[in-house]
Chains A and B, each alone.
Chain A
Amino acid sequence: MNPAIEVSGISKSYQISHQAKPAYNTLKDDFGKLIRRPFGGSPEESKELFWALKDVSFEVNRGEVFGVVGQNGSGKTTLLKIISQIVDPTSGSIRLRGRTASLLEVGTGFHPELTGRENIFFNGSMLGMSRQEIRKKFNEIVEFSEVEKFLDTPVKFYSSGMYVRLAFSIAAHLEPEILILDEVLSVGDASFQKKSLNKIATTMEEGRTVLFVSHSIDTVQSLCTRGLLLKKGKVKAIGPIKNVLDAYAGSLPILKPEKIKELEGVKITGAQLTDAHKKLTAKSSLQGELTFTTGRELPDCYINLHVEDRRGQVVIHSRTDFVGKNPSFKPGTHKVSINIPRLSLNPGSYSVWFRIYAKYKDETHLADSDRIMIDVGGKIKDSMSTLEIPSSWQWSKVDDKS
């Protein structure tokens, strides 16, 4: 069977002029240009092509839930807009086999002056539902949205929560064969979000093809089977969702504290974990090694090791002064190693990185290593925590009744 979505060689470029100017012109600008340079070309402005997407190809099979991840500005939304026929690609082609609906925003076309009831019809029609379909699902939509009481109130009087719930309920009742979703789930209160996720999950069980874009690694992981990672408009990884999310987590830049400058004259040449390739569990030990070259003396260095989970939360942090004394270094190449006798992490993917803090001219500067990805396995499932701390349980009978 042919894939439901077939994207081949899609690129999209935008002209960016280096004069700070709005995207639209005024006639004066173009007339002015015409008079100054009647035969085209304008040397006074340097124009540049910006590739929002470059040669993106992938296929999504029927019934598959496909996730697209990437940082802000990686081209995710542009890709969705091209697939949704809103933006025209610069080159390449796309085939969509099946009735398609896309949801790039909840409540598109909601009019503040119209009532909830009226907006259900307008928005539903906009998303591709027929009047009959909307009528058929009307009660279900209203019930799902929990706004029955305010159905005949203009939505401008709605609280933002009610607004989003109504908008999402309409969207959740779409029944296309191919559904294109942008991070719309990141709206509303937590319990409604969960309800919506469940609703989407059940529609997915009905064999619908879904293309889903999100920042939320958790949501992507729980919904998608395969996916792709975009970085600066190019495909960086494609395949099973776990690999894609690992690549995504590994490609995330390390957050730097504000106002702290890069440590000059120091070059980190290597960061390794001796056991990174082995099967790790909570009980494993972890040995790390950092090599760097410094051109000047570094008195009183703080060497840090961080372990982050996939959400970017630091779960382990060790620093030289926490457990002893800070080292000092003379110019030359140095090696620093750390031993963690028990990793104490529940199963999952983590990234490990080193950071050096050093004083320079009375200011603290820093240098970071790259991320090293590790995979922790083990038997524990359904743990609510990231850390696996050794613990023991005991029980005994305390009364005398027999």
Chain B
Amino acid sequence: MRSLDDTIVIEAGKTSRISIKELWLYRELFYFFAWRDIKVRYKQTVLGAGWAILQPLLAAGIFTLFFNHVAKISSGASNVPYPVFAYLGLMYWNAFAAALGTVSNSLLSNSGVLTKIYFPRLIPPLAATALSIVDFFFAAIVFFIIMLGYRVSPGWQGFALIIPSLVLLTVIALGVGLFFAALNVKYRDVRSALPFIIQIWFFVSPVIYPVSYIPARFQSLVYLNPVTGAISSVKQGLFHEANDWHGLLISWVVALIMLAIGLWYFKRTEKNFVDII
């Protein structure tokens, strides 16, 4: 049996801190939550993990057709074929959007368990990021095949940035998602607003167009959207462009602030979750 100390003290109105020790104690439960989500996701599907590849692949195809061929949007200064460029952006974006969605709904979708068993309330949202990370790696394998197919030789800096960018996106998804998850308990509007928010966020982030397409007067602001830092730093690295380290730093700072706000709001409201969920 897991146990923190031999004595548990429950006191009214005591706001709990984030206890790393407690989270560590419950690490197996975290693992089981993540494992369950992944298992359930691929049960009764024919394609299984194939969906993780097919989604960005089809989306990249559609965007190539409409944005590249019809609207004449290109991959920017680099002479990288647009499909490679779009697939890379979409692969990251999908991981981010999926994580944001599942984290935001993680409390509601686990309400049956939350009202019956005690465990750190942070576990379901944390575990909810696992599925999109697994999906990302499937999609990433295909990305390298596509790059080979288009004979794009990637820059080494880009390789080093593949994982940090995924981490950055996960931090953003977690920060915003924790806030939404807690808000979702009280205001069910979140469920309806979320797809809309994700869609707008997609178009204001340089996923399917390069950062250089953003008007000059907004250029100083683009990295305040931390998704920009995550996606464009990999693109810059892989496609031999100059890296905007300054911008990436801004994105990281903003992401960490988002995480802090998300955690703060989550911890502040978690004691009431069960009363109102």
Contact = CB atoms under 8 A, between A and B. Distances in A.
B186 interface: yes
A109 B10 contact: no
B276 A109 contact: no
Given A86-B117, A113-B40, A126-B113, A23 B10 contact: no
Interface string A139-160: 0000000000000001000000
Nearest to B41: A113
B268 interface: no
A288 B234 CA distance: 91
A25 B6 CA distance: 39
B1 A108 contact: no
A218 B116 CA distance: 25
Interface string B30-54: 0010011001100110000000000
B8 A95 contact: yes
Contacts of B36: 111, 114, 118, 122
A88 B271 contact: yes
A202 interface: no
Contacts of B40: 111, 113-114
A224 B59 CA distance: 63
Interface in A127-185: 127-131, 133, 154, 174-177
Contact of B188 (A24, A81, A133): A24
Interface in B9-66: 9-13, 28-29, 32, 35-36, 39-40, 43-44
Contact of B3 (A82, A99, A104, A108): A99
B212 interface: no
A175 B1 contact: yes
A348 interface: no
Interface residues of A, number: 53
Interface string B254-277: 000000000000000001101111
A102 interface: yes
Contact of A81 (B6, B274, B277): B274
Contacts of B186: 24-25
Contacts of B11: 89, 92-94
Contact of B12 (A25, A89, A121, A128): A89
B7 interface: yes
Contacts of A92: 11-12
Given A108-B116, A122-B36, A126-B29, A174 B1 contact: yes
A113 B117 contact: no
A159 to B, nearest CB: 20
B1 A99 contact: yes
Contacts of B188: 24, 26
A25 B8 contact: no
B139 interface: no
B118 interface: yes
A122 B7 CA distance: 26
A82 B1 contact: no
Interface string A33-75: 0000000000000000000000000000000000000000000
A121 B32 contact: yes
B10 A27 contact: no
A357 B276 CA distance: 46
B2 interface: yes
Given A26-B187, A113-B40, A126-B113, A133 B1 contact: yes
A330 B118 CA distance: 64
A126 B30 CA distance: 10
Contacts of A93: 9-12
A207 interface: no
B119 interface: yes
A101 interface: yes
Contacts of B153: none
B185 interface: yes
B39 A108 contact: no
Given A14-B275, A92-B12, A94-B9, A105 B32 contact: no
A151 to B, nearest CB: 15
B275 A86 contact: no
Contact of B1 (A105, A114, A129): A129
B76 interface: no
B189 to A, nearest CB: 5
A83 interface: yes
Interface string A13-38: 01000000001111110100000000
A86 B119 CA distance: 8
Contact of B117 (A99, A104, A177): A104
Interface string B172-210: 000000000000011111000000000000000000000
B115 interface: yes
Interface in B108-163: 112-119
Given A24-B188, A100-B8, A87 B275 contact: yes
Contacts of A176: 1
Contacts of B271: 88
Contacts of A154: 43
Contacts of A86: 114-118, 274
A98 B5 CA distance: 8
B116 A113 contact: no
Nearest to A105: B116
Contact of B118 (A24, A84, A174): A84
Interface of A: 14, 23-28, 30, 81-102, 104-105, 108-109, 111, 113-114, 118, 121-122, 125-131, 133, 154, 174-177
5 contacts: A24-B188, A88-B13, A98-B6, A102-B118, A113-B40
Given A24-B277, A86-B114, A133-B1, 5 more contacts: A24-B276, A85-B10, A86-B117, A102-B118, A121-B32
